Every structure is written in C-alpha cells, then in structure tokens.
Amino acid sequence: MSDWNAGVIQEFRKNRGKVGGNFEGAPLLLINHTGARTRKIRINPVMYLKDGDRYLVFASKGGADTHPVPQPQSSPRREDRGRDRDDRRTRGGN
C-alpha cells in the first residue's frame, strides 16, 4: 500500500469517514479486496455514488491515461467488502 493511501485510510478511520485535502467533502469508501492471483488482502480508499441501495464505485488514477487497477483484477467477488463513513458494510460480487 502506498504511503498516500495509508494516510487517507488512517484519516478516514480516525475521523469516522471524513478526510481533508483533495477528498474533503467527497463520499469515500474503504474497499477490502483480495488479489486474484496472490490472494493478498488489500484496502483502498475509493470514491462512490449511491444509487438506491447500491454503491457505484469508481477510480481515476488522477486522470492518467492508464487504468488505476488492471481490469481483470478489479471485478468484484463475493468476498470483497467495503465500509462507508457511517460504518455500513457493503458487499461486492455476483
């Protein structure tokens, strides 16, 4: 995990889902996911939009021309989880 992500995660947890800087006021979710090949558990902060009971999660890699996560690695699975600022747990996967 990058130092930048670690800082955002720490601030998110410390301040009950609120962070400053570039993400101040933005809806953030901590995604817990498992690597497809490595099975290593990772946590990443991502922005989301609510659509009824669903969370629409997206990432931009700061506007870079490449995807933030290799596409085959980013498909949700049942074991993937998220946590929003109100400490609600969400589920991914089919």
pLDDT digits (tens, 9 = 90+) for 4-40: 889 999 999 999 889 998 889 989 988 888 887 888 8
Q: What is the pLDDT of residues 40-70, one digit of tens each?
A: 888 888 888 989 988 888 767 767 787 766 5
Report residue 92 as tokens: 């991914």
Q: Who wins on pLDDT, 78 or 30? A: 30
pLDDT-based confidence at 1, cuts 50/70/90? low
**Among 78, 68, 86, 72, which residue's Cα sits nearest to residue 33?**
78
Residue 93 has pLDDT above 50, yes or no: no
* Contacts by 7-13, CB closer than 8 A, 24 or more apart: 8/45, 9/43, 9/45, 12/45, 12/85
CATH superfamily of the domain spanning 3-91: Electron Transport, Fmn-binding Protein; Chain A (2.30.110.10)
pTM assigned to the model = 0.65
The pLDDT assigned to 88 comes to: 56
Q: What pLDDT, on the 0 to 100 scale, is given for residue 77?
A: 53
Q: CA-CA distance, 57 to 65, in Å (whole number)?
A: 19
Q: Which residue spans within 1-94 are E strands per DSSP?
A: 28-34, 41-51, 54-58, 81-84, 89-91
